[in-house]
Amino acid sequence: MSIAQESIITKPTRRRIKRTPYLLILPGIGWLFLFFIFPLSTLFATSLQKPAGISPDDGFLPAFKVSNYSSALVEYYPQFFRGFLYSGIATVICLLLAYPIAYYMAFRARKYRNLMLVLIVAPFFASFLLRTNAWKTILSGDGIVVGFLNSFNLLPQDRILNTSLAVVAGLTYNFLPFMILPLYTSLEKIDPRLIEAAGDLYSPPSQRFWKVVWPLSIPGVISGTLLTFIPASGDYINAELLGSIKDKMIGNVIQSQFIDLRDYPTASALSFTFMAIILVMIYLYIRRAGTDDLV
């Protein structure tokens, strides 16, 4: 997602109102209203419903039960916090890992560039669940990774699986390509002569990076961090497969409230709160980073 995208718009050549753009957006906008905006409003309505009986099978009645929100928040604030904490840490690690390789591909890799791109994209085609599950094998107690780290006493719990470390590592692994690709796209657009020019104008390498490359790659950094942080914060697969019961994130709560407990009002209230927090965070983040164009 290159969020900061320069769109080239031709000046209107006819004065009368054009029908074409409206015909073009009609199916898509209709679809998104029907299956995105409308469901979100049903979700909101559901979040205020009250139970009709004792069991979820009795159904729920329309109401204006705002306390669904307060009680959900009081009960599940640790999972909210954990969700944002884990995904935040994973996002930062992804950025640290992705930037050098994206930089390498953009400026140094030359003939290996396409091969590297292919290797970064291809894992998408092997099931994401299966790949996450494979980490269980790699990180298992009798595997080499744990054995190696344990021989230096680097693991406080003597294991990785079923710890918060495993969850963060899993999130990092799963969303790393979503960080690399937008970063690469924005770095690749930078004319290498700009870096040379900066060097010519007496900038040492570190300044060349911070004063030239980094500012020009900001659109990629924004896209990458959003593409990593948003799905990671709502993820429950990694916590489920790699973490312990104490590592549950907000995604796990929403999933189990909806699917297992069928407490729809609570689940909806949690979803809505979560969505609101995400949107506020994105808004603040984009405002601070100074991009207006969203898609």
Q: Please, which of residues 212-271 interact with other proteins by CB under 8 A?
A: 226-227, 230-231, 233-237, 241, 251, 254-255, 258-259, 264, 267-268, 271
Pick between residue 31 and residue 148 the one whose CB is nearest to other proteins.
Answer: 31
Pick between residue 66 and residue 280 the one whose CB is nearest to other proteins.
Answer: 280
* HEC string for the chain: CCCCCCCCCCCCCCCCCCCHHHHHHHHHHHHHHHHHHHHHHHHHHHHCCEECCCCHHHCEECCCCCHHHHHHHHHHHHHHHHHHHHHHHHHHHHHHHHHHHHHHHHHCCHHHHHHHHHHHHHHHHCCHHHHHHHHHHHHCCCCHHHHHHHHCCCCCCCCCCCCHHHHHHHHHHHHHHHHHHHHHHHHHCCCHHHHHHHHHCCCCHHHHHHHHHHHHHHHHHHHHHHHHHHHHHHCCHHHHHHCCHHHCCHHHHHHHHHHHCCCHHHHHHHHHHHHHHHHHHHHHHHHHHCCCCCC
Pick between residue 69 and residue 236 the one whose CB is nearest to other proteins.
Answer: 236
Among 69, 86, 178, 274, binds other proteins (CB under 8 A): 274
User: Which positions from 120 through 139 interact with other proteins, judged by CB under 8 A?
Assistant: 120-138
User: Which positions from 6 through 65 interact with other proteins, judged by CB under 8 A?
Assistant: 6-15, 18, 20-22, 24-25, 27-29, 31-33, 35-40, 42-43, 45-46
Pick between residue 132 and residue 163 the one whose CB is nearest to other proteins.
Answer: 132
Q: Minimum CB separation from other proteins for residue 80, in Å?
A: 12
Among 92, 116, 155, 289, binds other proteins (CB under 8 A): 116
Taking CB under 8 A as the rule, does residue 151 contact other proteins?
Answer: no
Pick between residue 153 and residue 241 the one whose CB is nearest to other proteins.
Answer: 241
Among 146, 163, 177, 213, binds other proteins (CB under 8 A): 177
Q: Minimum CB separation from other proteins for residue 120, in Å?
A: 6
User: Which positions from 86 through 105 interact with other proteins, judged by CB under 8 A?
Assistant: 97-98, 100-101, 103-105
